[in-house]
């Protein structure tokens, strides 16, 4: 760490925090726009935005104004009572998503938990003894709670906590035959990330999504789309499923990350059929849908609508620039750009490039071991994208070596 302050922060955490995060040696002090600063005053262009949370950058004046005004009036009230903003935000999300009703949670994982309960409750109403199975895809990631990792298609997240929820069936992504084989009268629902984020920025193809919709209708199961990372404008539309060539509407959609740009908030949106499975007393949240978070989220929704053109324009700029870098560097095997959800596939581990980028003043992330992931702010400018591409161009001239085993 660069300074005494940063060293003290690190040492204190090592003594008192559960050591479940493999942090980089960087302590951040403040942010403004697309940039963050450490305690030494070094500036970093932020292309990971709190893993997609700070989608409006840092210190957006309209968000700060909403926080100041609302925190002076009312920060929290329990869900025993009404407040002004839950209904307004639910109405906005219903219009954006094409669905009918919303439940508010604190996070993406909690939203997935709500969707799991909705699928299970829906199945229970039809056949309480056997209609409880949930189908999910290999390479998926749906969160860290026991329910969410139960439907996460990567064994490394499940192995230390098994046995988990029974009745979960995993199928390869984009394998329609395997999906058909997994379905039966026991199936209560299917959960799919339209674009797999943690798994490496991989889209799920339209044919599989169409087949999932058809099979859910055939077997009276619920189709759940996980839009926690790819939703709320990230893919250049309100929700990633709205970018498909054909209209496919889920029964349930879960979202979180940028919805309140840092204040804890998640949402489960559902059609009337799915929502009917949850009645009074079956589900709830102490903090979910709090006054301050939902007030801020309403401001976010207004800003997202205004920023969609910029998201698409900067997406095109990133795609053009990264394709040019790919043509120059053989270790880049693929470039995947969906709005401002970006993955660069390498033929080698990318962790060293993340550290090199950080040292060069650029914050990125590596997921799935070999995929450099960017989740830039929706407010990023043309000049800032150009700056990021210049830094990457310099870094790629000296890529990390292949592992010795290769």
CATH number at residue 157: 3.40.640.10
Helix axis angle, 291-328 to 84-97, nearest 10° = 40
- Is 115 in the same domain as 227? yes
SS3 126: helix
Kindly state the average pLDDT of the residues 3-24: 92
- Smallest CA-to-CA distance from 221 within 183, 167, 174 is with 183
CATH code where residue 53 lies: 3.90.1150.10
| CB-based contacts of 107, cutoff 8 Å, min separation 6 | 143, 256, 264, 265, 266
Kindly state the average pLDDT of the residues 154-162: 96
What are the tens digits of pLDDT across the range 252-288?
Answer: 999 999 999 999 999 999 999 999 999 999 999 999 9
Whether residue 137 lies inside any domain: the answer is: yes
Report the pLDDT value the prediction gives residue 403, as an integer from 0 to 100: 80
- Residue 3: pLDDT band with limits 50, 70, 90: low
Kindly state the average pLDDT of the residues 72-92: 97
- Is 336 in the same domain as 237? no
Q: Are strands 202-203 and 195-196 parallel, antiparallel or unpaired?
A: antiparallel
- Is 144 in the same domain as 200? yes
Q: What is the span of the domain harbouring residue 54?
A: 4-59+307-396
Distance in angstroms (rounded) separating the CA atoms of residues 345 and 336? 8
**Total tally of structural domains belonging to the chain:** 2
Angstrom distances, CA of residue 48 to CA of 14, 36, 139, 364: 24, 11, 21, 5
Distance in angstroms (rounded) separating the CA atoms of residues 110 and 112? 5
Report the pLDDT value the prediction gives residue 370, as an integer from 0 to 100: 96
Q: Domain boundary residue among 262, 289, 316? A: 289
Q: Domain boundary residue among 289, 316, 337? A: 289
Report the pLDDT value the prediction gives residue 405, as an integer from 0 to 100: 60
- Is 353 in the same domain as 382? yes
SS3 241: helix
What is the token pair recorded at 129? 């003894």
Q: Are strands 202-203 and 371-374 parallel, antiparallel or unpaired?
A: unpaired
- Is 232 in the same domain as 376? no
Kindly state the average pLDDT of the residues 169-197: 98
Q: Domain boundary residue among 255, 289, 323? A: 289
Q: Is the pLDDT of residue 395 over 90?
A: yes
- Is 261 in the same domain as 386? no
SS3 295: helix
What are the tens digits of pLDDT across the range 106-153?
Answer: 999 999 999 999 999 999 999 999 999 999 999 999 999 999 999 999
Report the pLDDT value the prediction gives residue 353, as an integer from 0 to 100: 97
Q: Is the pLDDT of residue 223 over 50?
A: yes
- Is 132 in the same domain as 201? yes
Q: How many Cβ atoms sit within 10 Å of the Cβ of residue 95?
A: 11
Report the pLDDT value the prediction gives residue 406, as an integer from 0 to 100: 52
- Is 250 in the same domain as 169? yes
Angle at CA 197, nearest 5°, toward 66 and 146?
A: 85
Whether residue 71 lies inside any domain: the answer is: no
Q: What is the mean pLDDT of the chain?
A: 96
- Is 32 in the same domain as 117? no
- Is 163 in the same domain as 281? yes
- Is 117 in the same domain as 161? yes
Q: Is the pLDDT of residue 2 over 60?
A: no
Whether residue 69 lies inside any domain: the answer is: no
Dihedral sign computed on CA atoms, order 288, 289, 291, 294 = positive
């Amino acid at each position: 760490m660069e300074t005494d302050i940063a060293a003290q922060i690190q040492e204190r955490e090592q003594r008192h925090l559960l050591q479940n995060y493999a942090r980089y040696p960087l302590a951040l002090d403040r942010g403004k726009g697309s940039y963050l600063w450490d305690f030494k005053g070094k500036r970093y262009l932020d292309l990971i935005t709190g893993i997609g949370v700070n989608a409006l950058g840092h210190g957006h004046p309209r968000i700060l104004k909403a926080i100041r005004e609302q925190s002076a009036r009312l920060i929290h009230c329990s869900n025993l009572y009404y407040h002004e903003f839950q209904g307004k935000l639910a109405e906005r999300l219903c219009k954006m998503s094409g669905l009918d009703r919303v439940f508010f949670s604190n996070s993406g994982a909690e939203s997935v938990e709500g969707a799991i309960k909705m699928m299970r409750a829906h199945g229970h109403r039809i056949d309480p003894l056997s209609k409880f199975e949930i189908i999910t895809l290999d390479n998926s990631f749906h969160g860290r709670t026991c329910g969410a990792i139960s439907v996460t298609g990567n064994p490394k997240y499940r192995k230390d906590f098994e046995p988990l929820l029974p009745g979960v069936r995993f199928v390869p992504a984009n394998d329609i035959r395997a999906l058909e084989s997994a379905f039966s009268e026991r199936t209560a629902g299917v959960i799919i990330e339209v674009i797999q984020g943690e798994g490496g920025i991989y889209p799920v193809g339209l044919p599989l999504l169409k087949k999932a919709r058809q099979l859910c209708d055939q077997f009276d199961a619920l189709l759940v789309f996980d839009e926690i990372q790819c939703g709320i404008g990230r893919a250049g539309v309100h929700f990633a499923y709205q970018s498909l060539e054909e209209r496919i509407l889920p029964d349930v959609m879960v979202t979180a990350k940028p919805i309140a740009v840092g204040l804890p908030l998640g949402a489960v949106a559902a059609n009337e059929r799915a929502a009917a499975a949850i009645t009074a007393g079956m589900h709830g949240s102490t903090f979910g849908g709090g006054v301050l978070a939902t007030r801020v989220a309403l401001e976010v929704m207004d800003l997202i609508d205004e920023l969609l053109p910029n998201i698409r324009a900067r997406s095109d700029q990133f795609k053009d620039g990264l394709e040019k870098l790919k043509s120059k560097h053989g270790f880049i095997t693929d470039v995947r750009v969906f709005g401002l959800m970006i993955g660069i596939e390498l033929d080698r581990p990318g962790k060293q490039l993340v550290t090199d980028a950080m040292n060069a003043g650029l914050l990125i992330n590596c997921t799935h071991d070999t995929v450099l992931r960017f989740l830039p702010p929706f407010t990023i400018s043309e000049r800032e994208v150009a700056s990021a591409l210049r830094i990457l161009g310099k870094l790629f001239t000296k890529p990390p070596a292949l592992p010795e085993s290769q």
